[in-house]
């Protein structure tokens, strides 16, 4: 039994690590975007490498957790929910990586007026991920607390939507070529998508928590 307890603690640490990676991924994304907008390309590329490594680590950890949960037949009632949560959460890290890689590859020209809005949008998306991490931790530690933490995720996701729409309207009001407008629109949607992904995970956690409550 002591052996199983040790293994349980190891698995808890792996899940904690996975959550930390998601949170750090969001922070790195915000920082990388800021560096890109400041035109500090060398430092930006370093961050891109970190985000890529993070995404890889998250994938590996997810696989380890998945196999441990199945092999040791842990959480028979809620294993499916836990795996869905981890799977949807992993999409946030994947999305951070693909958006920031696109910045690295396409190097879009960002108009000065849009930069501050973009940073604000990244801030709102990061806040949504931060709130989501609190929700996920609550799910694992005490599902009763999930509900009260959900509203912050919804709030920041909505905030990101509003900001995203405003920036897009501003972009399309400029007299720049349509191709540039479309490219910028896609980047704005990509950043906003991080908050959307956070909300997707929150929805999954909300249902799973209801099932978990004694």
- Quote the CA–CA distance of 209 and 140 in Å, as a whole number: 9
Smallest gap from residue 212 Cβ to other proteins (A): 7
Site string for other proteins, 100-129 (x = CB under 8 A): ------------------------------
Establish if 4 lies at the interface with other proteins (CB under 8 A): yes
To other proteins, the closest distance from the beta carbon of 113 in angstroms equals 46
Residue among 8, 60, 67, 98 that touches other proteins (CB under 8 A): 8
Q: Are 132 and 153 in contact (CB under 8 A)?
A: yes
DSSP classification of residue 144 = G
83 counts as binding other proteins under rule CB under 8 A? no
Exposure string (b/e) for 51-62, b if CB count within 10 Å is 16 or more? beebbebbeebb
74 binds other proteins (CB under 8 A): yes
Q: Which of 127, 108, 93, 92 is nearest to 187 (CA)?
A: 108
Site for other proteins in 151-210 (CB under 8 A): none
Tell whether residue 84 is a contact of other proteins (CB under 8 A).
Answer: no
Q: What distances in angstroms separate CA 155 from CA 102, 132, 149, 198, one per listed residue?
A: 27, 11, 11, 11
How many beta carbons lie within 10 A of that of residue 182, not counting itself?
Answer: 11
Residues 51/32, Cβ–Cβ less than 8 Å = yes
Please check whether residue 156 is in contact with residue 90, taking contact to mean a CB–CB distance below 8 angstroms: no
Sole binder of other proteins in the list 27, 41, 162, 213 (CB under 8 A): 213
Residue 214 beta carbon to other proteins: minimum distance, rounded to whole angstroms: 5
Among 3, 39, 42, 76, binds other proteins (CB under 8 A): 76
**5 interacts with other proteins by CB under 8 A:** yes
Cβ proximity to other proteins: between 82 and 191 the closer is 82
Please, are residues 14 and 68 in contact by the beta-carbon 8 Å criterion?
Answer: yes
Q: Which residues bind other proteins (CB under 8 A)?
A: 1, 4-5, 8, 11-12, 15, 73-78, 82, 139-144, 211-214
């Amino acid at each position: 039994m002591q052996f199983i307890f040790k293994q349980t603690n190891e698995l808890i640490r792996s899940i904690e690590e996975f959550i930390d990676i998601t949170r750090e991924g969001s922070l790195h994304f915000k920082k990388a975007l800021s560096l890109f907008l400041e035109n500090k390309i060398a430092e930006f590329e370093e961050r891109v490498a970190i985000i890529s490594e993070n995404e890889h680590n998250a994938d590996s950890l997810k696989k380890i957790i998945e196999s441990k949960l199945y092999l040791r037949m842990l959480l028979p009632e809620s294993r499916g929910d836990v795996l869905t949560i981890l799977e949807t959460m992993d999409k946030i890290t994947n999305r951070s990586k693909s958006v920031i890689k696109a910045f690295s590859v396409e190097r879009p020209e960002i108009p000065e007026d849009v930069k501050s809005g973009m940073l604000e949008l990244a801030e709102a998306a990061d806040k949504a991920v931060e709130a989501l991490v609190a929700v996920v931790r609550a799910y694992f530690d005490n599902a009763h607390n999930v509900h009260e933490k959900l509203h912050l995720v919804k709030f920041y996701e909505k905030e990101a939507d509003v900001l995203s729409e405003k920036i897009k309207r501003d972009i399309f009001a400029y007299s720049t070529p349509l191709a540039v407008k479309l490219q910028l629109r896609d980047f704005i949607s990509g950043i906003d998508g991080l908050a959307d992904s956070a909300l997707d995970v929150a929805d999954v956690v909300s249902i799973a928590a209801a099932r978990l409550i004694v």
